[in-house]
Structure 1
């Protein structure tokens, strides 16, 4: 499939950024499922963090329909692998990518000497494929040392990255600055390394200031919600650490991007991996939330200590308030009367099923317009009853990695709310 930009697509140098979850979406980065998903087997899918083995052709069809639905709403769609290939036109970026890929200790020096020339001789398109779809032991000619001899032929020297599908996790725009996250799971570490290359070396983002980075404390984009201009919520749990949340809070305060960060503890359950698996915004004052956690979800409001520091001062002190109910703490920080809750499902059983099927992992296209998986009938009905227009998309295969429309999209540009 061609991913050539359409005539309406924005060009390099266009302003980028987002100050909310619900401002009208203008530009989004996606990753169309590719050969990396064909590398999944029953033997490696758990290690590569996929619950199932998707039917790749159907997943591609579903993803194409998702992208088409966005374009129909005048959203410009850019693809991560296109950006990466264009980035590899830069010699320094190529060298950094190859050096990182060869840094794995399990390769050994003999294999590294054979694998290196293969990568260096690759075209930008081929290098993108090698670094995203992976390289198997039997795909490298030579390197006949202990690594080649003792590893099974179908073991990977460079692992595939099936979770590239979830572009939200590796970067988050906060106003006009992009946060490069630091993914906690070893199977996903290279995703943010490649994402940082794009933002650091692609001409489109040459003027974009960057925060955090893949070498820093663990923060994942699925845990970061832009509740309102100046207000972030950061889930803390399986993937984002308390230290990661604190570090990102310091960075956005120092850059003058926020006045309040809500640290939100999340139970360590598989169906509640990130904050956006239990709560996403569909309007300026409405969230869709998994009801089985709604009563217990709390937040610690983090702010700068008055008078000790200001924007640009990296030595600021933080004040951490006592925990409050999430909806209460969020409404206070957002300076609204009430943050309204729309439940996932209609009863505990339906809620749990539709939670597992990413019923509340919605992508807002504008206030009161959201993309959701079509299979979550009860949740979608509740959204519509609350005045939300639901853009339904198929997701029987896309959902096999446990992620919905929000997980699969990184907004690059939204209309500002404030």
Structure 2
């Protein structure tokens, strides 16, 4: 028997997933703020919604239960203590000043749950307030945000990760995304569906982002370390997984600190128990440090960690997974298409069962490679969804998978 919420791999049959349908927060993006809000482009929101609806429909056609983050948040905000906590977190910004903070506290406090969800996710502009006028409103531009929008909510993978029956609330590195983890943590803490769910990590700890965490096999976890996840974050997550007996091996994988490879899942994702789709330009250089825990403990009670010397990632992964080899499927058909399709999230696939994966339809070369290796590809449109540089895996947080 397993818990109702459970995930021990990347490829076990997907039963429940957390998504966020693009909403008004994406309409807040402009050429002036999209870099700050971590979007490479400004999406056509109506088309992005159509594409996301098709993604959702493809999952439901395979009997996957879809949970929407904003629905869960609205239901959570029906509880007075949850509302108070969410408002306090949203108004903690030191840039607001006492006058505006006091006004917004009243505005948000009187909002209905659904309206409060919109305020918390789409933000509030300076020209939208009807009170709290003072020095802050006078000196800010009319279109400056008092509460920033959260366009990256689209990528639900980053703010939480399920490891078996436990959910890890991550700690997002970029200031523009800090409130995402606060709202995600509120849902897992206060929503009745998740009552009693064991939690670990948290927004207050060292930086770890879900796009860097791959469950290679029950007990084996790979953690990318680079632009978003720090070495200290990888160590903290490893210690917590070892202490809770969720893993026996963690592979710390250094990745290039550049926009195109911000997370480990922009380089590789699993499509079967022993197959990965991988950006071929990094295959020969990708390294891993194997981390395990000894039985002894430090004087302060912490587990003693053993860290190996760096070795080729795919060698270390196969050994930890107890298989002869990890079969590699190249992104693209040649170095040029590989680079282009990696940028377009060709290897950011979502496995919904062994040998069944959701992928963007635009990556013809990568999808052909997958099918040639026996993988069923469920193609979805992503011309607008991809403007934030994230694929099907980025846009989904598996809550329940069948045990592998």
Please say whether Structure 1 and Structure 2 have the same fold, judged by a TM-score greater than 0.5: yes
Question: What CA distance in whole angstroms lies between the structure 2 residues aligned with 1:117 and 1:17?
Answer: 39
Of residues 327, 332, 356, the one that matches 1:340 is: 327
Q: Distance in 2 between matches of 1:128 and 1:17?
A: 27
Task: Kindly state the Cα deviation for residue 330 of structure 1 after the two structures are TM-superposed.
Answer: 0.4
1:65 aligns with 2:54: yes
Structure 1 gaps, min length 5: 1-12
The answer for the alignment partner of 1:7 in structure 2 is none
Q: Equivalent residue for 2:195?
A: 206
Give how far 1:139 is off.
1.3
Match 1:167 to one of 136, 153, 156: 156
Aligned residue pairs total 402
Does structure 2 retain, via aligned residues, the 8 Å contact 1:331–1:339? Answer: yes
How far does the alpha carbon of each residue in 1:190-235 deviate from its partner, in whole angstroms, 9 at most, with x for none?
A: 0000000000000000121001000000000000000000000000
SS at match of 1:371: strand
For each residue in 1:247-291, what CA deviation from the matched residue of structure 2 results, as whole angstroms up to 9, or x when unmatched?
A: 000000000100000000001121100000001000000000000
Gaps (5+ residues) in structure 2? Answer: none
Distance 2:155 2:398 in 1: 12
Aligned partners of 2:161 and 2:210 also within 8 Å: yes
> In structure 1, how many angstroms separate the alpha carbons of the residues matched to 2:289 and 2:322?
16
* Cα distance, 1:405–1:42 mapped onto 2, change above 3 Å: same
Aligned equivalents of 2:258 and 2:276: distance in 1? 21
Say which of 77, 80, 101 aligns to 1:91. 80
Partner of 2:288: 299
Is residue 108 of structure 2 the alignment partner of residue 119 of structure 1?
yes
Look up the match of 1:315.
Answer: 302
TM-superposed CA distance for 1:89, in Å, is 1.1
* 1:261 lines up with 2:257 in the alignment: no
1:371 aligns with 2:353: no
Alignment of 1:389 with 2:380, yes or no, is no
Deviations 1:333-386 (A, max 9, x none): 111111111000111100000000000000000000000000000000000000
Q: 1:416 maps to which residue?
A: 403
What's the offset of the Cα at 1:153? 1.1
Matched, 1:281 2:270: yes
Is the partner of 1:308 in helix, strand or coil?
Answer: strand
Is the contact between residue 254 and residue 314 of structure 1 (CA under 8 Å) also seen in structure 2? no
In 1: Cα distance, 2:157 partner to 2:301 partner: 27
Spell out, residue by residue over 1:108-140, the C-alpha distance to the aligned partner (whole angstroms, 9 max, x if none): 011111111000000000110000000011111
Instruction: State whether structure 2 residue 367 is matched by structure 1 residue 380.
Output: yes
Q: Partners of 1:59 and 1:40 in 2: how far apart?
A: 14
1:21 matches 2:4: no
